[in-house]
Amino acid sequence: MEVKIEKLDYEGRGLAHINGKVIFVKKALPEEIVDIKIEKDQKKHSVAAVNEFIIKRNDRVLSFCPYSKKCGGCTFDIVSYENSLKWKKEILKDLFSKNNILINEFEIVPSRPVLGYRNKVNLHVKNSQVGYYEEETHHFIPIQTCALLNPAIDDLIKDFDLYSFKDGDLTIRTNEQQELILHIESEKEPKIKESLIEKYKIVGICWNKKVVYGKKSLTEKRDSIEYQIPITSFFQINPYISEIIASDVFSFLKKEDTIFDLYSGVGFFSLRLSQYASKVIGIEADLQAVIAAKKNALKNNINNVSFHVGKVEDILEKIPISSKKVVVDPPRSGLHKKVIKTFLQEEIETITYISCNPITLVRDLNLLKEKYKITFFRAYDMFSYTKHVECVCVLNRQ
């Protein structure tokens, strides 16, 4: 079945039509003509894979990854890094335009480095092999390397002697000192060789949330703040990009401001916001993250920050927003409708919205534009070569 790719969809897939029906083609680029194989046929659309290229783009490149055709994690490994930024920008512009959201010309801040940037990874273990699930499936893809991972993590996953458990899940996090902490989920407690612990600078191992070696959190220093990060808690995965985002976020604040930091995690923004504001109030649903955030504040002698545990939408009902400025960094699902309702009702002057999912960002902006105008927008290549992109959007009340 032959189709011509018209453009890229919001997932980075090639988009084509057959008899009026939308076809999403994985690893296909605009203007290419491809013979396809339908993998998933639904009423309104189908998902397909390339069977054969009839006409290829001249700027298509060979992937750097041996698992490119199976894994699906690196959507843009088939183009140069510069072109991957171009396509991501086109996707964002199209998404905003279709949703009638006006933004000025913007840039996508490139990552440095473009590979080896991930300081955390979630892996699966099947029959003593390490790997990923193929995108949108539970089809296991065993791997021996991943170019996106920090070299300390990548070296570790190559040593299969480490994994004495047959099936389960494995999370690995590292820091600038190349120290490693692991969280293993499995039926039987794994036995880790002491020689490997020393070789790979493993400072902590948790098994089913229980510490079995060393400690359960990793130390990371950003700017002048030292963070303790529990293995299961969220922390930005690309150190270079996260620092640029932090700098942009702080540029909109004044010392006299009281700031609400919603979805505050272990305090990545909150603790550094304390240097730019008179008072910071963090709200986070992850109990372990809040415990870590409070410890981080004490360790860094920061006393103008408080943290509250619970869902943001629930806490805001108990603690009215008493400030004119709010920073939000929600999960991929975006803001809860109750939170948006609060923003519309309260006289909040500025909302700084950090988003890892442009689709839910656009949804929320459409609800907020009744009373807010976008005054700043910038995109960041937090997740190089993947379909994902981070955005910062500043909204001022009209």
DSSP SS3 for 168: strand
pLDDT at 162: 56
My answer on whether 238 and 370 are in the same domain is yes
Q: How far is CA 180 from CA 113, 123, 265, in A?
A: 20, 15, 20
Which residue ranges of the chain lie beneath pLDDT 50? Answer: none
My answer on whether 302 and 392 are in the same domain is yes
Structure-token pair, residue 56: 């290829």
pLDDT at 163: 56
Q: Does a structural domain hold residue 77?
A: no
DSSP SS3 for 363: helix
CA-to-CA distance for 382 and 386, rounded, in angstroms?
9
pLDDT at 347: 84
CATH classification of the domain holding 56: 2.40.50.140
DSSP designation for 71: H
My answer on whether 356 and 384 are in the same domain is yes
Q: How far is CA 362 from CA 7, 15, 94, 171, in A?
A: 20, 21, 11, 31
Q: For the sheet with 140-142, list strands across it.
A: 140-142, 129-133, 120-126, 168-174, 180-185, 202-207, 210-214
First CA to last CA distance, the chain: 52
Q: Which of 118, 128, 135, 132 is nearest to 159 (CA)?
A: 128
Residue 221 · residue 227 · CB < 8 Å: yes
Structure-token pair, residue 76: 């843009």
CA-to-CA distance for 239 and 19, rounded, in angstroms?
46
CATH classification of the domain holding 204: 2.40.50.1070
My answer on whether 304 and 271 are in the same domain is yes
Q: Which of 387, 272, 382 is nearest to 327 (CA)?
A: 272
Q: Match 């907020």 to its residue by tokens.
A: 368
- Domain containing residue 41: 1-60
According to DSSP, the β-strands at 21-26 and 33-41 are: unpaired
pLDDT at 154: 96
- Per the structure, how many domains does the chain have? 3
My answer on whether 188 and 301 are in the same domain is no
Q: Give the orientation angle of helix 81-98 with respect to helix 358-368, to 10 degrees.
A: 30
pLDDT at 320: 78
Phi, psi of 102 (to 5 degrees): -90, 125
Residue 232's CB is within 10 A of a number of other CB atoms, namely 15
Q: Which of 306, 310, 281 is nearest to 296 (CA)?
A: 306
My answer on whether 144 and 50 are in the same domain is no
